[in-house]
């Protein structure tokens, strides 16, 4: 596809379950970003990948959150033992190069996660 | 981390009016971006502007890095400009977002 693709678009799960969110960036984009937007709140930066590596993981909210990227393409954000406060829209973006360069980010439509 | 403050938090305009949105940040940054999130949640990068002035149609942005602020100007506003405008800065490794300005342009 032409844009950033995220799946699933909606996920409803019970508290305590694990969830995996997927982001498929634009082909050729080396940089990939994950954000979270809770209801009525601003955007919260979670993690950034340059290729397969994430230079700083301190933006992840807790150790229940992990993210990986393989092959310099698809990324997954995993939340273990979900809590109600994890309910949010999780957005992914990609860009041609890193945070160091003047390249715009292209955003997916997000995954709306609801924890019951 | 870097603190990012946006003002005003809410703004209501009549179609055709002009407006200025402000973003203050607390430390030196690598870069600054303005985003628009439309009422359907879609997010678009408006400007990548660490310093200076850029223009794109009815929108323009100015960043004065030495004074740690950026301004987003919207001229001749249209209903399609409604949504939330976010400012974000980065320090090479992480992004820091402001809480946004919610704009409602009325016909």
Closest to B34 in 3D by CA, of B70, B86, B80:
B86
User: What residue spans define the domains of chain B?
Assistant: 4-102
Q: Does B95 touch chain A (CB under 8 A)?
A: yes
How near does any CA of chain B get to the CA of A80, in Å? 23
Q: Dig out the tokens for B105 from the structure.
A: 């342009």
pLDDT of residue A88: 95
Cα separation of B107 and B89, whole Å?
A: 33
Q: Does B44 touch chain A (CB under 8 A)?
A: yes
Residues of B in contact with A59 (CB under 8 A): 94
**Residue A50's pLDDT band (boundaries 50, 70, 90)?**
confident
In terms of Cβ atoms closer than 10 Å to its own Cβ (0-12, 13-18, 19+), residue A82 is buried
According to DSSP, the residues that pair with A10 across neighbouring strands are A112
pLDDT-flagged residues of chain B (< 70)? 93
Q: Does A5 touch chain B (CB under 8 A)?
A: no
pLDDT of residue A104: 77
Q: Does A87 touch chain B (CB under 8 A)?
A: no
CB interface of A with B, residues 48-67, below 8 Å: 48, 55-56, 58-59
Architecture per CATH, domain A5-115, reads as: Sandwich (2.60)
pLDDT of residue B4: 95
**Residues above pLDDT 70, as percent of chain A:** 94
Q: Using CB atoms, pick whichever of A42, A58, A100 lies closest to residue B99.
A: A42
Architecture per CATH, domain B4-102, reads as: Sandwich (2.60)
Q: Does B102 touch chain A (CB under 8 A)?
A: no
**Residues above pLDDT 70, as percent of chain B:** 99
């Amino acid at each position: 596809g032409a844009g950033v693709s995220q799946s699933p678009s909606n996920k409803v799960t019970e508290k305590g379950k694990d969830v995996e969110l997927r982001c498929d960036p634009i082909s050729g984009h080396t940089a990939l970003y994950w954000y979270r937007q809770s209801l009525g709140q601003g955007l919260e930066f979670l993690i950034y990948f340059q290729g397969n590596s994430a230079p700083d993981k301190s933006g992840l909210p807790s150790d229940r959150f992990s993210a990986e990227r393989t092959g310099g393409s698809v990324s997954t954000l995993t939340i273990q033992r979900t809590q109600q406060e994890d309910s949010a829209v999780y957005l992914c973006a990609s860009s041609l190069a890193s945070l160091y360069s003047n390249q715009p980010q292209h955003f997916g439509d997000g995954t709306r996660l609801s924890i019951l | 981390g870097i603190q990012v403050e946006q003002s005003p938090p809410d703004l209501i305009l009549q179609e055709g009016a002009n407006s200025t949105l402000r973003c203050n940040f607390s430390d030196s940054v690598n870069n600054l971006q303005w985003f628009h999130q439309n009422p359907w949640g879609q997010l678009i990068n408006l400007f990548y502007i660490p310093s200076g002035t850029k223009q794109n149609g009815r929108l323009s942005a100015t960043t004065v890095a030495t004074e740690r602020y950026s301004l987003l100007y919207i001229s001749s506003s249209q209903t399609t400009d409604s949504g939330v405008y976010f400012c974000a800065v980065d320090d090479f490794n992480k992004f820091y977002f402001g809480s946004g300005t919610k704009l409602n342009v009325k016909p």
